[in-house]
Chains A and B, each alone.
Chain A
Amino acid sequence: MQKQIIIVALIVMIAALSGCLSTLHPLFTEKDLVYDPRLVGTWRTGDEDDTAVIEQGSAASFNELPGALRNLASRAYMVTYKSKYKTTKYHAFLCRIGKEYFLDYYPAENSRQKTYDPFYKAHFTKMHSFYRLRFRDNNSFEIGQFDDGYLGNLIKQKQIRIQHEVRVDGSYLITAPTEELQQYVIKYSDVEEAYNSSTRHTYQKIQ
Chain B
Amino acid sequence: MKIFILAALSLGMLLSSSCLTSVHPLVTIQNIIEENSLIGTWQQGEDTYVVEKLTKSGIYREMENSVTNKDKENKEKKPLTGKEKEDSIFHSHAYCVSFSRNDVNYYMSGSLTRIDDQLYMELFPIVIDDKEQNDGSGFDYTFNYLPGITIAKVDLRNKNTIQLQFPDGDYIKKQIDDGNMRIKHEKDNWFDTFLITASTRDLRSFFQKYGHDERLFSKENSVTLTRKG
Contact = CB atoms under 8 A, between A and B. Distances in A.
Contact of A124 (B67, B130, B139, B186): B139
Given A9-B66, A116-B104, A25 B188 contact: yes
B193 A126 contact: yes
Q: Is the interface of B mostly helix, strand, loop or mixed?
A: mixed
A85 B19 CA distance: 32
A87 B128 CA distance: 17
Contact of B12 (A90, A106, A118, A168): A118
B136 A26 contact: no
Contact of A26 (B67, B131, B191): B191
Interface string B35-46: 000000000000
Interface string B41-84: 00000000000000000010011001100000000000000010
Interface in B1-42: 6, 11-13, 15-16, 19, 21, 23-25
Given A5-B63, A18-B143, A165 B136 contact: no
A175 B67 contact: no
A4 interface: yes
Contacts of A20: 143
B148 A124 contact: yes
Contacts of B147: 123-124
Given A15-B142, A15-B143, A116-B138, A165 B197 contact: yes
Contacts of A87: 135, 137
A7 interface: yes
Given A5-B63, A8-B136, A126 B144 contact: yes
A6 B190 contact: no
A125 B143 contact: no
A60 interface: no
Interface residues of B, number: 58
B104 to A, nearest CB: 6
B59 A121 contact: no
A11 interface: yes
A1 B125 CA distance: 17
Contact of B145 (A1, A125, A169): A125
Contacts of B125: 120, 123-124
Main secondary structure of the interface of A (DSSP, over half): mixed
Contacts, number: 172
Interface string A142-183: 000000100000000000000001011110010100000000
B137 A175 contact: no
A116 B136 contact: no
Interface string A13-42: 101001011101110000000000000000
B24 A112 contact: no
A107 B143 CA distance: 10
A179 to B, nearest CB: 13
B102 interface: yes
B183 interface: no
Contacts of B62: 1-2, 5
B139 A4 contact: no
B140 A117 contact: no
9 contacts: A6-B66, A9-B67, A85-B136, A119-B16, A119-B19, A123-B123, A123-B147, A126-B191, A129-B144
Cβ-closest 4 pairs across A and B: A7-B136, A118-B16, A86-B135, A122-B19
